[in-house]
Amino acid sequence: MSLTRKDIFLALAKDVPDPKSEGKTVANPYKTWHDVNSALPTQKIEVLGPPPTSGTRDAFVELAMEGGCEEVPWIKELKKKDEKFFKGICQTIREDGAFIEAGENDNLIVQKLEVNPMAFGIFGFSYLDQNSDKIEGSLVDGKAPTFEAIAGGEYPVSRPLYIYAKKAHVGTIPGIAEFLAEFTSDRAWGEEGYLADKGLIPMPDAERTSVAETVKNLVPLSLE
């Protein structure tokens, strides 16, 4: 299925914009994807995902839910005026059975999708990649969850991993320089590196080379 982030927000938010009154919300009334978007099939909204303690859940809420929420103009304006209220609308997932907490074990979600192929699951890319013979990734805003789309920053429900080191600690606290050198080595973060086996997707070659030089020379972070 091809979804937009707005579709995802409207399907899974606890409260959604009141179609009869701009500036107000109502408890989510949508039961099927067709209710959310008339271009989508009359298929029950059923999404398996991780609990609030999960980093994957945090990323999903921030990238998919909030990204779709900002498609509603009056809610987007709230971000400047009342960020707490904005996040309350955009980041609170419904609890009426449409979203099912399936625990921290992503393999369990994959198994449940095999049993119920009409449901959706939220998990890291590596689980999709390893089970491509059993499950299929959905398009989001027209982009498929492929290695290339994620590496190029095109797939909207993905985010980079940042690691920060304090320059003053290098040479003082044992292991920091060695850790930075190891993490930025091809055998670790390269296309065939062991981090790829853990589900991390390498940056494009030119970007990876640039970052490696920055790390090697301990160039301070610029806030500009």
Q: What is the pLDDT of residues 58-117, one digit of tens each?
A: 999 999 999 999 999 999 999 889 999 999 999 999 999 999 999 888 889 999 999 998
**Predicted local confidence at residue 66, as pLDDT:** 96
Whole-angstrom CA distances from 5 to 67, 71, 116, 132 are 6, 8, 23, 23
Q: Cβ(96)–Cβ(16) under 8 Å? A: no
* Amino acid (one-letter) located at 38: S
Torsion of CA 61, 101, 48, 117, to 10 degrees: 180
Ramachandran region, residue 50 (left: φ > 0; alpha: ψ -120 to 50; beta: rest): beta
**208-224 mean pLDDT:** 89
Pairing of strands 15-17, 25-27: antiparallel
Which range among 10-14, 23-27, 52-56, 73-77 shows the weakest confidence by mean pLDDT?
52-56
**211-224 mean pLDDT:** 88
Q: Cα–Cα distance between 196 and 191 in angstroms, integer?
A: 7
**Predicted local confidence at residue 222, as pLDDT:** 80
- pLDDT of 223 over the 80 cut: no
Residues in contact with 165: Cβ distance below 8 Å, sequence separation at least 6, in sequence order:
176, 179, 180
Structural domains of the chain, with CATH: 2-151 (3.40.190.10), 167-216 (no CATH)
**Predicted local confidence at residue 196, as pLDDT:** 86
Indicate if the alpha-carbon torsion angle 126, 119, 141, 5 is positive or negative: negative
- pLDDT of 163 over the 70 cut: yes
Whole-angstrom CA distances from 20 to 11, 23, 75 are 18, 10, 15
Mean pLDDT across the chain, nearest whole number?
Answer: 93
pLDDT tens column, 23-35? 899 999 999 999 9
Whole-angstrom CA distances from 222 to 166, 176, 205, 214 are 13, 20, 22, 11
- pLDDT of 46 over the 70 cut: yes
**210-220 mean pLDDT:** 93
Helix 176-183 / helix 205-216 crossing angle, nearest 10 deg: 170
**145-153 mean pLDDT:** 90
Q: What percent of the chain has pLDDT over 90?
A: 77
**183-190 mean pLDDT:** 94
Buried b (16+ CB within 10 A) or exposed e, 178-207: eebeeebeeeebeeebeebeeebbbbeeee
Q: Cα–Cα distance between 7 and 41 in angstroms, integer?
A: 12
At 224, is the pLDDT very low, low, confident or very high (cuts 50, 70, 90)?
low
- 3-class state of residue 98 by DSSP: coil
**Predicted local confidence at residue 143, as pLDDT:** 96
Which residue, among 211, 204, 160, has the nearest Cα to 181 in the 3D structure? 211
**Predicted local confidence at residue 48, as pLDDT:** 96
Strand partners, 13: 93
